[in-house]
Structure 1
């Protein structure tokens, strides 16, 4: 029968038969480390030998898109069923962080899907091969049950997300017409809790920068010169202390939003942050006072010191160091003007007598903050679909706590963005022993099959082109 229930039953059967696992295992086995220059041929191979045939088997037309800034091509897949139908853009990335082969537990390998203690291990299972495999297989289930999708689908797979998505913004700008769609539905990042379906609507912005003090050419004996010349380590410590309180509250007004919108507060009131048994314990007194943990990480900004160096930490000597350096980061939400972040810091340091501190941007990728309104009718539609399939109340996050190139889709392509993640915070993403519980992937496959079925049912919000 070509019904919604039949499509979801097909998804369950394909998972339980081992078919889904075999597909994912084949993709995990391809060592697509984008941070390793030696793997560049492998990045193209993943698209041409693995992903392209899977899309073409579903009736998609595919082409590779090149851009000089990108170290590998992008795969664009398209299935247009009707000019009048809703068009949905999907996104995923096939590259992974370095495998770190020697650091995995005994019996585990980053390039072999292994089941142990009720988990599936392998590099890319959570980020992002498992997630785009869920979505691709969900569309295959809908086509098999209905004979068609019932909507137009476009999909973009990149191979450089782990190195900052070089060329993605430029490609989307140049190929705006090719990528034209009514909304983006994609999967990346973690659920709020492993057992709770989640929707997030954007991502926090991220800006990394360096603070440096260069006081003099070399070090000087602390007995002869202590009390006579400045210590850059002490000065830089005071600079950092002026930015955030002893409990992590940001002290630069331009670095935080004026308020939390009512719709954001409402959805976050139903969200409890939990990293699982492997996650750290939340410290109630850290961060912005008066906010819940969910509001602090999904609705507010955070300042972090990622590294700090002065003197010679490995072999300290009795000398006043000539310089000090810190790599810092601001995660920020909608309501903070990104072009004012560093000028506001400069003014703040100067007001506090810390003009000797130099500020420099880094080569690391900058992400802007994005968020669509949780009250948007497409958000409510997606949440209802997930609830219908899972029998659970999904969590709605206004944005991911981390950062994604979501501003490319919102600002360059002008799309609503709805992300349905199929991972969880304790998955060891970017670390050795990356894993997911198979029941999370199974539920993800079912809810995406239901979501894609509902997209083609004709009972969606009106498209505003």
Structure 2
């Protein structure tokens, strides 16, 4: 078995000390994009990144305003005779609540052993920083870059990139490239690197049920007026059947079945059910029959209820019938599904389920189609070779159950494939308390990015597009 290349234990080289200190600064920004009170921190993070990119020698650094959070752009162009790579990352992060569940400061950038803790350490500040540091090392060498490089760093990925589509359409010429690379996915394990070739799509929606115009005394009106919380609960229960399949009529009609060969490959190289249950810290799985847990989270679609609100939430008792209740719904879509068609199906089903005593409204918030890139594409082969050199072992192919809206935007508006070159781990607690970046993968990621940049620089400008 090939030897895994581990970075040298302390003392680290001087550049590693500097890179780690800078990453700690970046993680220190509470750049939570979804909560308005952190808008200033999101902007401060964008400005820090812009200054940092200028400082390492990139050109054309600009901070573009959007209706909500800024986009940071930078480039280093060596000439039209060389191909161009577009590097994408996001500097915004998820909320940290419940703060009491954290054992370290969420934005402290604390290093313990071989882990750097903090919200965004893995998703996505640490991962995007691998490419920034690789570029810095190349530029510090005094030689021209092996290819043209453009960077696009956004501050709204965690809220579905609502303004990125308009930005990409408006700046097609500025963003023109041969390929894109994005590091916001996971490796299979510490020992085994992996290259992601598929993502599920996404539809996010909020369902609200309205009953009386104001709170009613439950002793006077309970049993006489339909409670919106009860109506919503019954509607939500009808979204799945007893076997765990989504019960929306027509929901599975467009799903493209995976081939026997693909299912066999994923079975050989993907995580077994027991591992996924351990990572989820649950004792038993749930979901669509006939598929492994890995297949359910990558090849098959799903519907999750991610939030519920309505009624009294304080201590003790308040005897009321609430005026309304709401639920947040998160669909993950399989190859072949269109998020707009799924929304249409959902609206028709909600209308059918709504009792006549209440009114239901549905507000959609995110539409992102599924994405697949051919693993045999030459740019994917270059990425696989870079992993083999950076990690000392060839990667296996994997699908991810997550959604990254930008890859479809690049495919639709720029006509380029995106390489999903992740360096996170399945257990690094993304979106949860005590999120961390495994530092050995940070150093290996930088080495992998260096190799990837050099390999792409050998291709002519149009051979892989």
Give the TM-score, by structure 1 length.
0.82
Any residues of structure 2 matched to 1:216-227 within 5 Å, and which? 216-217=212-213, 219=216, 226=223
Report deviation, 1:253: 4.7
Q: Which moved more, 1:28-37 or 1:63-72?
A: 28-37
Change (3 A) 1:278 1:63: same
Q: Distance in 2 between matches of 1:102 and 1:320?
A: 31
**DSSP-derived class of the 2:204 partner:** strand
Match of 1:283 in 2: 284
Structure 2 vs 1, CA of residues 100 and 180 (structure 1 numbering), >3 Å: closer, same or farther? same
Segment of structure 1 superposing worse, 379-388 or 396-405: 396-405
- CA distance in 2 between counterparts of 1:117 and 1:191 reads 20
Query: Could you tell me how far 1:303 is from its partner in structure 2?
Result: 0.8
Question: Is the aligned partner of 1:75 residue 2:72?
Answer: yes
1:422-433 matches, within 5 Å, as 422-433=423-434
Q: 1:63 to 1:220 in 2, by over 3 A?
A: same
SS of equivalent to 1:298: coil
1:352, 1:47 → 2: CA distance?
45
Deviation string for 1:196-219 (max 9, x for gaps)? 323224532222223344344564
Question: What is the correspondence of 1:43-442 to structure 2 with a 5 Å cutoff?
Answer: 43-55=42-54, 57-58=56-57, 60-72=58-70, 74-98=71-95, 103=100, 108-144=104-140, 147-217=143-213, 219=216, 226=223, 230=226, 232-256=228-252, 257-262=254-259, 264-265=262-263, 267-269=265-267, 270-272=269-271, 274=275, 279-281=280-282, 283-284=284-285, 286-309=286-309, 311-312=311-312, 314=314, 323-349=324-350, 358-362=359-363, 364-442=365-443
- C-alpha separation between the residues in 1 aligned to 2:98 and 2:235? 40
Gaps of 5+ in 1: 1-7
How far off its partner does 1:451 sit?
Answer: 1.7
User: 2:297 and 2:461 mapped to 1: Cα distance?
Assistant: 31
In the other structure, the counterpart of 2:27 is: 28
1:243 partner SS: coil
Cα separation, 2, equivalents of 1:358 and 1:181: 49
Residues 262-271 or 118-127, more deviating:
262-271
Aligned 8 A contact 1:374 1:398 in 2 = no
Aligned pair in 2 of structure 1 residues 357, 183: CA closer, same or farther (>3 Å)?
Answer: farther
**How far 1:156 sits from its partner (Å)?**
0.9
**Residues 67 and 171, structure 1, Cα contact 8 Å, conserved in 2:** no
Q: Is the 8 A contact 2:110 2:117 kept in 1?
A: yes
Aligned with 2:23: secondary structure? helix
Q: Deviation of residue 322 (structure 1)? A: 6.1
Does structure 2 retain, via aligned residues, the 8 Å contact 1:378–1:461?
no
Could you tell me how far apart the structure 2 residues matched to 1:51 and 1:87 are? 20
Structure 1 residues 163 and 238: alpha-carbon distance in aligned structure 2, compared to 1, 3 A threshold: closer
Q: CA deviation at 1:299?
A: 1.3
1:125 and 1:47 map into 2 onto residues whose CA distance is 16
Length-normalised TM-score, structure 2? 0.82
Deviation at 1:363, TM superposition (A): 6.5
Q: Equivalents in 2 of 1:310, 1:33: separation in Å?
A: 25
Structure 1 residues 51-108: Cα deviation after superposition (integer angstroms, max 9, x where no partner): 44445534x3123142341333x221112223132211001122334466963756x3
Distance in 2 separating the partners of 1:247 and 1:448 = 44
Structure 2 unaligned runs (5+)? 1-6
Report the CA distance shift for 1:349/1:304 in structure 2 as closer, same or farther (over 3 A): same
Quote the offset at 1:428 in angstroms.
2.7
SS of the residue 1:362 aligns to: strand
Contact 2:183 2:422 in 1 (8 A): yes
8 Å CA contact retained: 1:190, 1:421: yes
Shift of 1:242: 2.5
In 2, Cα distance between equivalents of 1:198 and 1:303 = 26
User: Are the structure 2 counterparts of residues 318 and 79 from structure 1 closer, same or farther at C-alpha, using a change threshold of 3 Å?
Assistant: closer
Distance in 2 (alpha carbons) for counterparts of 1:28 and 1:346: 40
CA 1:264/1:255 → structure 2, altered by over 3 Å: closer, same or farther? farther
Name the CA shift for 1:357/1:424 in 2 (closer, same or farther; >3 Å).
farther
Shift of 1:172: 0.9
RMSD: 3.6
Q: Deviations over 1:328-382 (max 9, x none)?
A: 2212123112222233124335566857675534374443332223343432332
Tell me by how many angstroms 1:297 deviates. Answer: 0.8
Per-residue CA deviation, residues 215-234 of structure 1 (Å, 9 max, x unaligned), is 445647579874x7655544
Q: Give me the whole-angstrom Cα distance separating, in 2, the residues matched to 1:120 and 1:394.
A: 24
Q: Secondary structure at the match of 2:305?
A: strand
Question: How far is the alpha carbon of 1:301 from its aligned partner?
Answer: 0.9
**Cα deviation, residue 24, structure 1:** 1.3
SS of 1:305's equivalent in the other structure is strand
1:365-417 CA distance string (max 9 Å, x none): 44333222334343233223312432324232344424443322222222201
Residues 179-208 of structure 1: CA distance to partner in whole angstroms, max 9, x if unpaired?
011111111133333443232245322222
Instruction: Give 3-state SS (helix, strand or coil) of 1:128's partner.
Output: helix
